[in-house]
Amino acid sequence: MNQNSKNYKYNLKTIVYTIFNFIKVKKASNANFEAYKDFCLNYPRVSDYSKALDEPIIVNSYEAHIKDLKWKEMSLTTFDKKDIKTLNLNLNGKNISCIYITNPNSNKWVVGMHGWTEDKYLALRLVFHYWQAGYNVLTFDSYAHGDTYGDNTDIGLSSLPIVEKVVDYIKVEFKASHIGLIGNSMGASSAVLYAQKANNKEMINWIVADCGFNDIKLQYRYYNQQNFAKQDWYKVCFAFIKKFSKITKSNQNKFNLMKKMKLAKEIPIFFIHSKKDTFVPCFMSEEMFVEKVIYEKKIISELWTPNSSGHVWIIADLNKDYVEKTIAFANKNEK
């Protein structure tokens, strides 16, 4: 069976199964939710150690960025630590933690948006090649990550006002002539959400969306079936969105990027996704691309789906192609 979003939506068969096995499904889903909730919400944020990069190291630090590059076997040519400036933005009394690196004689900017459990320093891998190409770059801790406000992540939904604030700041404070967004995983999905719903989306020129999901509800179901619970999703994921929404105090049903793609028709998006990604399936980016170009009078978006890498690893495994393609996409859409 070809994998696509339909495989993770209720149909007559799964509805009937749920009705006739409701007590069993509810019990199994409750138990699975408790475990999956901890998996989603508990990760190191500030002044904490992580063993994710093979050895204990302080997260959200320049040293973690270097270790990340080593782990991915990427070039250790990167930003000089002394050139990285910190910035805290105030959003209605709440803190947004950012870092940025400027380029002399340039007023073009790229904003890097990290994935779930990552942070502003790990996002530096997404923007270094833009800095080499003459851009100013900024990364930030997303909602409920790092030093930015928020207690429980909703996997990028509540980052929308944060991105709006960052873009406003760059436009006003630095008189940016061009602004692009590049995000991976959660950051990619938040960037597409921005293109659809942001109040200031006309301020950006392009988006690179690397291995993002198209619907958080379906992502929960996919990941549980394929990786976490390893059971049919409809047997162990009943009412997950309702439960998560209660914890995060946000309606995660609104994080469905397929419903509002028409609103993003004016913003070029470069969808990147490896066919071998087993964390967020490639078909999600493929479906977003197909849906988006329906509304484009002239095709302005692109899709690249190499058959080479795991989740968020295309930038490492195919770095030369990744750099060339993403820089070319930016150049084409800044004329």
User: What is the mean pLDDT for each group of 10 consecutive residues in the chain (335 residues)?
Assistant: 87 98 98 97 77 69 93 94 98 98 95 97 98 98 97 98 98 97 98 98 98 98 98 98 97 97 98 97 98 97 95 96 98 92
Crossing angle of the two packed helices 186-197 and 160-173, in degrees rounded to 10? 70
**CA atoms of 123 and 144, how far apart (whole Å):** 15
User: Pseudo-torsion of CA 313, 325, 146, 61, nearest 10°?
Assistant: 80
Q: How many residues does the chain have?
A: 335
pTM for the model stands at 0.96
- From residue 199, give the alpha-carbon distance in Å to each of 47, 154, 161: 34, 20, 9
**CA atoms of 292 and 286, how far apart (whole Å):** 10
* Per-residue pLDDT at 1: 44
**CA atoms of 212 and 195, how far apart (whole Å):** 14
Answer positive or negative: Cα dihedral of 307, 310, 316, 317: negative
Edge-to-edge strand ranges of the sheet holding 108-113 = 85-91, 94-101, 136-140, 108-113, 178-184, 206-210, 269-272, 302-304
* Per-residue pLDDT at 48: 61
CA 316: distance to chain centroid? 17
